[in-house]
Structure 1
Amino acid sequence: MNNTLKNISIVIPTLGNINLRLTLASILNSSISVLEVIIVIPKNFNFNFDLSEFSRLNIVTLITDKGGQVFQRSEGFKISKGEFVLQLDDDIEFNQFLIERLVSTLVSLPKSSSISPLLTNSLNRSVYRGSFTLLSRLFYAFFYFDFLLKEGSINSFGKSIGIITKNMLMKVEWLPGGCVLHRRGNLILSNYFPFKSKAFMEDLYHSHYLQVNGITLYVDTNLNAIIEEPKNELNSNRLLIDKLNEFKIRKYFFFLKGINVAKYYWTCAIDFVVICLKFLYLKIVEK
């Protein structure tokens, strides 16, 4: 087991997010040493981070011909050497035991498995809890006829439902992309995301292709990693254009999943109304 725990590659695609230091600090303070940390950066991006404080980590800097989170990650996967490969976003934090315990859980599962921890805010509350309020439940029931909100599922309208329940191992239909542990032989090495915009829904695409390859997905909610609350990233200047880009990405995802096209237009109409209301709210708040 000790040899297994040391045989871990970490792949982090980045454009130089200032929080990358927090992610690297989490790795540095881990209860186990990893084999390598591969930081993947586009060649035309000015990456001016001083990594000297993380000299104890075996950091490999990979320069790619172009950007894109999915492309950068896949290029990092290709050069990874560890038996286990942990994909991380560049703004995620975790405690010293997360990596060790993720590997321990994955080792206990069938070899055709990938696993994530629960994603929480700094107060250890699931970032998906907003979907389970009474108002949200009524919204899903009325507009998407989803009365159960099954955790970790993708409903019949292509909407991903997050996880809030703690202290259990759950088999799920999708994994959030911020922190996922794989066996190297199960990695998706192709650039499966055929879009140039921000990687909306890339975790759903990734989960789809993993499952096509026979990989079973799990979330261990005994463990958690900390990310920025999605609502804190809202920006009125990008809100509408981002949503239009997301509509294009969603259309292809519906095609992949074989979801009825009428449901696609229904979800777009509902989302457009919601995003217009959010836009007006942000404009009022920003004044």
Structure 2
Amino acid sequence: MENILNLTIVIPTVGEESLIKVIENLNSTSSKPKKILVVIYKENFKKINNDIYLHNNVEIVKTNLPGQVNQRVEGFKLALTDYVMQLDADCHINNQSITAMINFLKNNKNASVGPCFIDINNDLPIHKLNNNKVSLFIKNLILGFPSNDKIMGKVSKSGTNFGVDFFFLKNQSIEVEWVPGGCMMHHKNNLNLRDYYPFKGKAYYEDLIHSKILIQKNIKLFIIKDAICKTDFPIFPKKFREFIKYVKAYNYCSKIYDVGIIRKYICMTLYFVRYFKNRLY
């Protein structure tokens, strides 16, 4: 017997091949979300895999404008369930983790929650704590992160972010300053229904901007240990045009987080060094 979850999942997409596998995974057990809204820019509609139509809880939503954040917001507006989850088209999560997130929100009315993120290729945390002295020097003294495991879930004084390392998470949940945008669950009445991202193309730093908006609305952010989301390790931009978009997005985000001018330009310098180092090697 099917157990229909009081949940809408909103998936913005450009028609990724991984999308069908994500949906099949969501519908692979008797516990299924009530609705999965696949939101796609109308010009990309032809890229949708026809197998998606085999799932009766999936609805395709076409938007007039491109952009991941815009598509997500348009999906949010159509959600009718008490709980709404944003999910990227390359992020894989099972219904056991989804149920854990719903149960957490049932007990935390003024909160949004995310899972621990794991690299799908090696089952290691996307953000790994380490004791490398050079890495610690950059993170603590230059970027302005707190020391040791207190770095988890923080946004630094330079406006950069560090996630949660599953293996160092001592409690079942941790309150954080940001949640990755690839997977995050909300109470319906806490949804942000405004397109807050001013740039075209890949939405770099959108999750930090979104997290700041939620915190300003007095919504607490959490990561829980009982929920796991698997995805590819994020790749730093290799093409110069994409790299410039990345830097522009950081510059915009740094203003939202009131980053000091010295830290901001040190951070941007490090980004340029990283980009050219990647090009050379």
**What aligned pairs does 1:13-52 form with structure 2 within 5 A after superposition?**
13-52=12-51
Contact 2:86 / 2:184 at 8 angstroms: preserved in 1? yes
Instruction: State the 1:137 CA deviation.
Output: 2.0
State the match for 2:256 in structure 1.
256
State the match for 2:220 in structure 1.
216
Cα distance, 1:192–1:216 mapped onto 2, change above 3 Å: same
Contact 1:68 / 1:196 at 8 angstroms: preserved in 2? yes
Distance in 2 of aligned mates of 1:146 and 1:125: 22
Distance in 2 of aligned mates of 1:48 and 1:249: 28
State the match for 1:198 in structure 2.
202
Instruction: State the 1:144 CA deviation.
Output: 2.6
CA offsets 1:10-64 (integer angstroms, 9 cap, x no match): 1000001100012101111145121110000111114343344663441111100
Instruction: State the 1:96 CA deviation.
Output: 3.5
State the match for 1:172 in structure 2.
176
Cα RMSD of the aligned pairs, angstroms, is 2.1
Distance in 1 of aligned mates of 2:147 and 2:77: 40
State the match for 2:100 in structure 1.
101
Distance in 2 of aligned mates of 1:235 and 1:156: 23
1:277 partner letter: K
**What aligned pairs does 1:206-245 form with structure 2 within 5 A after superposition?**
206-230=210-234, 233=235, 236=238, 238=239, 240-245=240-245
Contact 1:14 / 1:90 at 8 angstroms: preserved in 2? yes
Name whichever structure is richer in strand by fraction: 2
Indicate which of 106, 116, 121 corresponds to 2:119.
121
1:252 partner letter: Y
State the match for 1:80 in structure 2.
79
Cα distance, 1:116–1:279 mapped onto 2, change above 3 Å: same
Contact 2:142 / 2:263 at 8 angstroms: preserved in 1? no
Contact 1:37 / 1:57 at 8 angstroms: preserved in 2? no
Distance in 1 of aligned mates of 2:5 and 2:45: 32
Normalising by the residue count of structure 1, what TM-score does the alignment of the two structures yield? 0.88
Cα distance, 1:65–1:199 mapped onto 2, change above 3 Å: same
Instruction: State the 1:227 CA deviation.
Output: 0.4
Contact 1:144 / 1:157 at 8 angstroms: preserved in 2? yes
2:257 partner letter: K
Cα distance, 1:190–1:119 mapped onto 2, change above 3 Å: same
Distance in 2 of aligned mates of 1:262 and 1:203: 24
Contact 2:237 / 2:243 at 8 angstroms: preserved in 1? no
Cα distance, 1:198–1:49 mapped onto 2, change above 3 Å: closer
Distance in 2 of aligned mates of 1:183 and 1:100: 14
Instruction: State the 1:258 CA deviation.
Output: 1.7
Contact 1:41 / 1:63 at 8 angstroms: preserved in 2? yes
State the match for 1:154 in structure 2.
155
Distance in 1 of aligned mates of 2:260 and 2:22: 40
State the match for 2:246 in structure 1.
246
Cα distance, 1:270–1:39 mapped onto 2, change above 3 Å: same
Which runs of 5 or more structure 2 residues have no equivalent in the other structure? Answer: none
Instruction: State the 1:6 CA deviation.
Output: 2.2
Which runs of 5 or more structure 1 residues have no equivalent in the other structure? Answer: 282-287
Question: Alignment length, in residue pairs?
Answer: 273
Instruction: State the 1:185 CA deviation.
Output: 0.4
Distance in 1 of aligned mates of 2:52 and 2:258: 49
